[in-house]
A = this chain, B = another copy of it.
């Protein structure tokens, strides 16, 4: 379990501190930001730990982290309350005693003065810094961070507030660590490249099967798969300690494209709604949506994109049958004949929406999100999607999804947006 010193120097552990993190339902987004930022300078996060506000637990975790990682980034526990124990834990582990540092005190009082405040007694604790530590300036908030070397590990403590942590990482920590790696010269380290491909429409096991044999055993690239209600994310990640040529990397990217071309809808940080939005803008088209079971989710996603008011005109959330009749002109007889959840009604919704809105295209969804509402012939998860892009330009699609109500809504919205995306690409090429 020993690691070579070269490998350890560029191996990192994140420690998130706070009892709420142990029990709360949020993702630890701080550690993801840190992972990305470190990867860019060739540092791999290999361990992530979450611990509560207990001082001895924090000390235990810090001791372990310094043993196995050369770089340890702690977030949280630097605030003004008695629950904030990171300073004390670091002091107890390292033996570097806490003392009020003038530089930290002056910075904090200056910051608070800008807001018309004086430091509270708790905030004075924020100026306590372990001896031998360097202060990490906080350009956003009042709590300074600090950095120190202990047992040959670089230990950096930052506040848990995302905006403060991010600013301090970018302004101070990343330049410092890049310089440290340079000075350490413990073996060459390369930026970690991570390429992401978002797929929709293929189960994870099929994605896995299609990618079998893509990466040769000797190639220092890791393949990752992550399934969610909106599809399977595929990633290629290079290693910090192995050089990989652009040509080899490009051949892997080409391989993913070839094997999954049909199902990749976006790459990198792009989302389905951004891709669709870009296509609409490029083609100078406008859109309206008509949503039954998705209840507004498609409209919400389309309008998450900044500037979407350039192409999103309107939407109808037509939950009741009467709403489908009133808002979209769906004939009552059509609903009576085929049922509200049918290919026919989906198409009539799209056509009614497009004609009323006067947009280039309209997208519709009707389905059974469950848990109630199923019949003998129409199970929970049955969804119809309609698209009307003008005369002779209509499409419908039947889908059968599994999962709870929320998952079915998410899958239905994703399937509808993907149908629109494919239609736009075809029209763009035509």
Interface residue? A116 (CB, 8 A): no
Inter-chain contact B56/A47, CB cutoff 8 Å: no
- Main secondary structure on A side of the interface with B: mixed
Complex: A24 Cα to B45 Cα, angstroms: 12
Inter-chain contact A35/B22, CB cutoff 8 Å: yes
**Mask of A131-155 contacts with B, CB within 8 angstroms, 1/0:** 0000000000000000000000000
Which of A29, A294, A296 has the most chain B CB atoms inside 10 A of its CB? Answer: A296
Complex: A291 Cα to B297 Cα, angstroms: 12
In the complex, which residues of chain B have a beta carbon less than 8 angstroms from the beta carbon of A20?
224-226, 235
Interface residue? A237 (CB, 8 A): yes
With A46-B57, A68-B60, A323-B357 already in contact, the answer to whether A406 and B304 are too (CB < 8 A) is yes
Q: Identify which of residues 202-244 in chain A touch chain B, using a CB-to-CB cut-off of 8 Å.
A: 208, 222, 224-226, 228, 233, 235, 237
* Segment touching B, from A164-172, A246-254, A370-378, A421-429: A370-378
Inter-chain contact B35/A61, CB cutoff 8 Å: no
Rounded to whole Å, the gap between the CB of A3 and the closest CB of chain B is: 8
Inter-chain contact B312/A314, CB cutoff 8 Å: no
Inter-chain contact B316/A315, CB cutoff 8 Å: yes
Inter-chain contact B60/A1, CB cutoff 8 Å: yes
With A59-B1, A296-B297, A314-B323 already in contact, the answer to whether A371 and B35 are too (CB < 8 A) is no
With A22-B46, A61-B47, A317-B289 already in contact, the answer to whether A295 and B302 are too (CB < 8 A) is yes
Other-chain contact of A19, B22, B222, B309, B373 (Cβ < 8 Å): B222
Inter-chain contact B47/A51, CB cutoff 8 Å: yes
Inter-chain contact A291/B296, CB cutoff 8 Å: yes
Interface residue? A307 (CB, 8 A): yes
In the complex, which residues of chain B have a beta carbon less than 8 angstroms from the beta carbon of A32?
23-25
Inter-chain contact A226/B24, CB cutoff 8 Å: yes
With A57-B47, A233-B24 already in contact, the answer to whether A356 and B315 are too (CB < 8 A) is no
Q: How many chain copies?
A: 2
Interface residue? A298 (CB, 8 A): yes
Inter-chain contact B316/A317, CB cutoff 8 Å: yes
Rounded to whole Å, the gap between the CB of A288 and the closest CB of chain B is: 8
Inter-chain contact B303/A315, CB cutoff 8 Å: no
Inter-chain contact A48/B22, CB cutoff 8 Å: yes
In the complex, which residues of chain B have a beta carbon less than 8 angstroms from the beta carbon of A369?
303
Q: Which residue of B is nearest A35, CB measured?
A: B23
Q: Identify which of residues 329-379 in chain A touch chain B, using a CB-to-CB cut-off of 8 Å.
A: 356-357, 369-373
Interface residue? A186 (CB, 8 A): no
In the complex, which residues of chain B have a beta carbon less than 8 angstroms from the beta carbon of A237?
19, 23
Interface residue? A327 (CB, 8 A): yes
Interface residue? A262 (CB, 8 A): no
In the complex, which residues of chain B have a beta carbon less than 8 angstroms from the beta carbon of A60?
1, 68
A interface with B by C-beta (< 8 Å):
1, 19-20, 22-29, 32, 35-36, 39, 45-52, 54, 56-57, 59-61, 63-64, 68, 81, 194, 208, 222, 224-226, 228, 233, 235, 237, 289, 291, 293-300, 302-304, 306-309, 312-320, 322-323, 326-327, 356-357, 369-373, 405-406, 409
> Can you list 17 A-B pairs, Cβ within 8 angstroms, ordered by A?
A19-B222, A23-B35, A23-B39, A24-B224, A27-B27, A27-B28, A47-B51, A60-B68, A293-B303, A294-B303, A295-B302, A300-B409, A308-B319, A309-B319, A309-B373, A312-B320, A316-B317
